[in-house]
Amino acid sequence: MAAAAAQNAPDMAMSHEPKVSTPIFEESEKEALAAAERRSTGDSVAPPVEFEADLEGEEPTEEELATLTRVSGKIPWSAYTIAFVELCERFGYYGCQVLYTNFVQHPLPPGHPTGKDPSSEGQPGALGMGQRASFGIGTFNQFWAYSTPIIGAIIADEYLGRFNTIFIAIGFCIVGHVILVISALPSVLASGNALAPFVIGVITLGFGTGAFKANISPLIAEQYRQTKLRVVIDPKTGERVISDPNITLSRIFLYFYMMINLGSLTGQIGMVYVEKYVGFWCSFLLPTILFCMCPIVLWFCRKKYHTSPPTGSVLVRAVKLWFLAQKGKWSINPIQTRKNMKAESFWEDVKPSRLGANKPRWMQFDDAWVDQVARGLRACSCFTWIPLYWLSYNQMNNNLTSQAATLTRNGVPNDVITNLNPISLVIFIPIVDNFLYPALRKAGIKFTPIKRIAFGFALGSLAMVSATVIQHYIYKLGPCHEYMNDCVEQHRPAPINVWVQTLPYMLIGFSEIFTSVTGLEYAFTKAPKNMRSLVTSYWHFMTAFSNAIGQALVSLSEDPLLVWNYGVVAVAAAIGGILFWIHQRPVDKKEDALNMLPDSTYIGRDRRHSVGSHHSA
């Protein structure tokens, strides 16, 4: 459904302070065309250069921006090793998570102390606490795993750096995996005391997963060193093209996400059959073993990775900057307050060049960093709508798995059907990267991140519409009608083939390419470079917030209300997509301007970028 060593600064070069920055949210494309203006006017202020890769080629002119084809750069091999680590981590996490529903919901099958049930329509189980309990624990697990990235991000950005934090997270994950294995031992299940270690294992694994998640995607993205648009010669065609780092990062995140889903696919398919034919103890053990590949690969490749150093209290200064910017902007009239907050002067008035000698002592950064903080906060406001999308995605982890148990399966475990989602992603991601996106670029269609996310909302809503229709016919045709979960233990499914769930699972998978992948990309590219883990963690926290909202739907997650459950989620995703587009459309028009902001020399701890070539030691 993707890093201990000391941190050193990456290759960087001293940049010049910009003269006067244009307001990034009020001016349309002036920032995006700054390079053309410099070249045509002979401006003596050199463009900021952060990485040596940005010295290759030339900056595009206004005409070149409008006419030349944009292409991807080369993905570095170090990124592939990090993607493999993510595959192993996702195999471990999803290989266990897919078992939670059956482990909690269904009782131990008679005569099978390990929880297995190899019969054709048999249902593995352990605790027998029912669907409502399994949905509640599953939702809590999602909430917890997506809340803890904020902790991991703060530790990484301010104290230990990403690489060291990832190793600490791996340690927590290994402990959590081991505890889950213990909870599923036949002797523990027979004693009736399996719930406590199971919950402890879920909590420990979730904490490690969250800290890992906040840092692994920024780590893989920062392996690519180019940050600016450059005009280069395509070695294959000999044509002048624009090497666009945002296209390269988009490809990196696409294949990173594909490795996530390869890991989850193999973990989920394999473990549900181990669960069915061997037992829960073994199906928790195998993911633990493969997960142990993560620290091995990272350790042996550690000297080849580009890493960012911890930056101290950058978050504190960003918060102080925001409070300073809004000083005097509040009014009894909420309309006036909103107008003040969106005024051109909101961020311009708190730039060091504007404040001069009156700037506070903590303001050790430059004007460019103020623009980057403003851009990062705009990205965070964009993510505010994402929980309504995740409501549809989260149905896969619990309710759609339970729905499969009420359908005719012909020996297929109910929790293996969920793998239609990662299968769809593994199929669609290469198609989107090699055919859809290039075709859109060739046709001159700018399928920007905001448009992609909005399209993902629409697909998520359609997925829930299809799930609503399926549930309606389960109630209509099933032998127990509106109480079909009562028939599961009696092996009396509805006369509908389980593969009808292909439609909702594949629609959700297709939607992830546009919403989830793009969200990770957007968080990385729009955040200040010394706050990337933090902004990425905020993206993940929106998933946790969605699970908190999902708790309000727990009462709908049982018969006879499941049609209402899927219908409400479908409507919520549709409304969320519409509101997201209305709210973000003005920003969408300024995508190039936001991507071409000047680089800041400020990296934290009152330090500036320096020239050099450093990797993690």
For 129-163, what is each residue's pLDDT tens digit?
988 888 888 888 988 998 899 999 999 988 899 99
pLDDT of residue 31: 43
Question: How confident is residue 268, by pLDDT bands cut at 50, 70 and 90?
Answer: confident
Q: Per-residue pLDDT averaged across 496-503, rounded?
A: 92
The CATH class given to the 77-312+373-604 domain equals mainly alpha
CA 525 from chain centre, in angstroms, equals 13
Instruction: Report how far apart, in Å, the C-alpha atoms of 444 and of each of 252, 284, 441, 493, 617 are.
Output: 22, 49, 5, 51, 44
CA 90 from chain centre, in angstroms, equals 13
Cis amide linkage into residue 560, ω under 30° from 0: yes
Q: Which of 306, 209, 254 is nearest to 519 (CA)?
A: 254
For 289-340, what is each residue's pLDDT tens digit?
999 999 999 999 998 998 888 877 688 889 999 999 988 888 888 888 888 8
| C-alpha to C-alpha distance for 338 and 329, rounded to whole angstroms | 9
| C-alpha to C-alpha distance for 140 and 546, rounded to whole angstroms | 11
Residue pair 535/375 in contact by the 8 Å Cβ criterion: no
For 201-243, what is each residue's pLDDT tens digit?
999 999 999 999 999 999 999 999 877 888 888 888 888 988 8
Can you point out the beta strands (E) in 475-515? 494-497
Q: Which residue has the tokens 């199971």?
A: 198
For 169-208, what is each residue's pLDDT tens digit?
999 999 999 999 999 999 999 998 999 999 999 999 999 9
**Whether the predicted pLDDT of 610 surpasses 80:** no
User: Positive or negative, the Cα torsion across 415, 416, 419, 420?
Assistant: negative
Q: Per-residue pLDDT averaged across 606-610, rounded?
A: 47
- The pair of structure tokens assigned to 265 is 């696919």
Residue type, 197: P
| HSE-CB for 253 with a 13 A CA cutoff | 26
Q: What's the whole-model pTM score?
A: 0.79
pLDDT of residue 483: 82
| C-alpha to C-alpha distance for 268 and 271, rounded to whole angstroms | 5
| C-alpha to C-alpha distance for 126 and 106, rounded to whole angstroms | 6
For 40-57, what is each residue's pLDDT tens digit?
343 433 444 444 455 567
**Helix pair 280-291, 77-105: axis angle to 10 deg:** 160
- The pair of structure tokens assigned to 204 is 């420990």
What length is written for the chain? 617
Question: How confident is residue 609, by pLDDT bands cut at 50, 70 and 90?
Answer: very low
Residue boundaries of the structural domains of the chain: 77-312+373-604, 314-365
| C-alpha to C-alpha distance for 287 and 374, rounded to whole angstroms | 41
Higher pLDDT, 373 or 592: 373
Instruction: Report how far apart, in Å, the C-alpha atoms of 105 and of each of 89, 267, 342, 343, 489 are.
Output: 25, 21, 50, 54, 11
For 459-491, what is each residue's pLDDT tens digit?
999 999 999 999 999 999 888 888 877 777 777
Higher pLDDT, 477 or 558: 477
**Residue 612's beta-bridge partner residues?**
12
Higher pLDDT, 93 or 600: 93
Q: Per-residue pLDDT averaged across 382-401, rounded?
A: 89
